[in-house]
Amino acid sequence: MDRIWAPWRMEYVSSTTAKGEKKCFLCVDGSDDDKCLVVGRKGSAFVIMNRFPYSNGHVMVVPTRHTGLLEELTDDELFDMMALVKIMTLIFKEEFNVDGLNVGINVGRAAGAGLEDHIHIHMVPRWFGDANFVAVIGETRVISEHIDETYRKLKNKFIEKIL
């Protein structure tokens, strides 16, 4: 059996409210943005790093308000989310020299939503050759840079773009 050492998952696994309910890890109030890896905010939405990325730089664009239904989002929330997708696209092109991006929303468990209760847009940077034999044969993804370093780069570039 293969084992992967991932001590950072314990925070996610053990996160509960005072009532013992599972806490939504996307409900981030702004007081701990660096700890939660929030890249930046715009209006009623924000960008947060995915702690379990498909590739280096994988982020999620999230409405501040907790809702799992796309049809419940206001026009302002949708606008702010798409504005952030545009900003992050520019950042990925300039800072990470990406060859492409996967941008998607999984609505409902049947569509692959791991978290149904708080809708979000995934942005996954892609490069030619990023899916190689390690993923195919070893069923393992290789993330080439520490998440803290990637976060620093994205956050600094985000601040540059917003100002």
- What pTM value is reported for the model? 0.82
Quickly tell me which residue has 């890249």 as its tokens.
39
**Residue 73: helix, strand or coil by DSSP?**
coil
pLDDT tens by residue, 35-51: 999 999 999 999 999 99
Q: Which pLDDT belongs to residue 17?
A: 47
Give ∠ CA 78-15-40 in degrees, rounded to 5.
35
Q: 98: Cβ–Cβ under 8 A, 6 or more apart, which residues?
A: 92, 125, 126, 127
Q: Which pLDDT belongs to residue 112?
A: 78
Do 59 and 45 touch, CB atoms closer than 8 A?
A: no
For residue 122, the surrounding DSSP H or E stretch is strand 121-126
Catalytic residues: 120
Quickly tell me which residue has 């950072």 as its tokens.
8
**Measured distance CA(77)–CA(6) in Å, rounded:** 34
**Measured distance CA(141)–CA(115) in Å, rounded:** 21
Q: Which pLDDT belongs to residue 143?
A: 73
Q: Is the dihedral of CA 53, 59, 60, 62 positive or negative?
A: positive
Q: Which pLDDT belongs to residue 135?
A: 53
121-126 and 100-104 as β-strands: parallel, antiparallel, unpaired?
Answer: antiparallel
Q: Which pLDDT belongs to residue 75?
A: 98
Q: Which pLDDT belongs to residue 23?
A: 79
Tell me which residues of the chain have a pLDDT lower than 70: 1-22, 131-142
Q: Which pLDDT belongs to residue 61?
A: 97
